[in-house]
Amino acid sequence: MAERIAYDEFSFFHENAAEHGLPYAGPPEVSRERVEVEPGRALSALRWGSGDPELVLLHGGAQNAHTWDTVALALDRPLIAIDLPGHGHSDGPGDRPSGQLSAAGNAEDVATVVRQLAPEARGVVGMSLGGLTSIALTEVAPSLVRRLVLVDITPGVTAERANHITSFVHGPPSFPSFEDLLARTMEFNPTRSESSLRRGILHNALQQEDGTWVWRHARERAGPWEGGVPDLGPLWETISRITVPVMLCRGMRADSVIGDDDEQELRRRLPDVRVERFDQAGHSIQGDMPVELVAAIQAFVP
């Protein structure tokens, strides 16, 4: 029987701070909340701080709310980071035909959580699938989105551009040991530190009774974009109807999923959009350049 690995989700914040040179006076005030979105089904969220949340953070597909830990530490503002349906500690998407991939369905669930936990939030920050969800949220519950930050995502994402992500996500259904899971994660994330990847795995995977490991998001389906990228065309039309300020944060490395054509189309539909480029970041800007991302968010959502 493999050795059981202890996990305390609130025990790693000092590592996040140290890795990025952030001041650390002790454990931040963070709690886990659970909000029922329909009978028998609930979403989970991390609440940072004790004041009224000023920001809502939505992670990408196959991630979870802890992907924002370094960003939340650097922001030092009250906020909530939500586990999307079927991710992290949240229940699955229920009977929605497109499951975890339904931006509109996710937005319906997220709206319920935001109404309860952060109804006066000044901005919504969404990365990848969380960004698509936040676009849908502007139509599902427009009063809840006062400013929108899209982190390396537009509705122009294609299966080809996302191939490096789906290749990783659609790997083995389980892993014999933590070290096997770490080795695969390091192979697909060569620019990230081993310590950050270890933290990420502990937040995003589960050790089963027999000692093997599975991804938390794999409880509901194999991962985002299984069988191809869904039709995101309607979300371009949603973007055309957005009236609140929007900022696109674009990773400029080859592992971004955004092309120049996506940025141009976004500018065509939203002439006043603000675009910030992150030269040393790929798709996961919150992991590659979290402090710089925070600076952009602070300037955009005062």
Residue ranges and CATH numbers for the domains of the chain are 13-158+233-300 (3.40.50.1820)
Active site residue 167: no
**Given 83, 109, 152, 262, the catalytic residue:** 152
CB 105 within 8 A of CB 93: yes
- pTM reported for the whole predicted model: 0.95
- The Cα-based distances of 273 to 240, 245, 270 in angstroms read 11, 7, 5
217 is catalytic: no
pLDDT at 152: 98
Neighbours of 122 (CB within 10 A): 17
Chunked mean pLDDT (size 10), the chain, 302 residues: 86 97 97 97 97 98 96 98 96 76 91 98 97 97 98 91 84 92 93 94 94 84 50 91 98 96 98 98 97 98 96
Residue with tokens 């699938």: 129
- Residue 61 to residue 151: CA distance in whole angstroms: 13
Asked whether the beta carbons of 293 and 285 are under 8 A apart, the reply is yes
pLDDT at 222: 42
105 Cβ contact partners less than 8 Å away, ≥ 6 residues apart:
85, 93, 96, 98
Please give the Cα distance from 86 to 29 (Å, whole number): 25
Q: Is 94 left (phi over 0), alpha (psi -120 to 50) or beta?
A: left
**CB of 95 closer than 8 Å to CB of 89:** no
151 phi and psi, to 5 degrees?
-100, 105
Q: Which amino acid is at 209?
A: E
**pLDDT at residue 227 in the model:** 47
Question: CA nearest 20: which of 74, 78, 81?
Answer: 74
pLDDT value, residue 167: 84
- Residue 297's contacts (CB-CB under 8 Å, 6 or more residues apart) are 55, 71, 75, 123, 125, 149
**According to DSSP H, which parts of 2-102 are helical?**
13-19, 69-75
Catalytic-role residue among 44, 128, 196, 256: 128
Interatomic CA distance for residues 24 and 13, integer angstroms = 9
Give me the catalytic one of 83, 283, 284, 288.
283
Question: Tokens 């925070």 — which residue?
Answer: 294
**Residue 148 neighbours by CB distance under 10 Å:** 25
Residues 62/284, Cβ–Cβ less than 8 Å = no
Reduce the DSSP state of residue 37 to 3 states and report it: strand
Annotation marks residue 128 as catalytic: yes
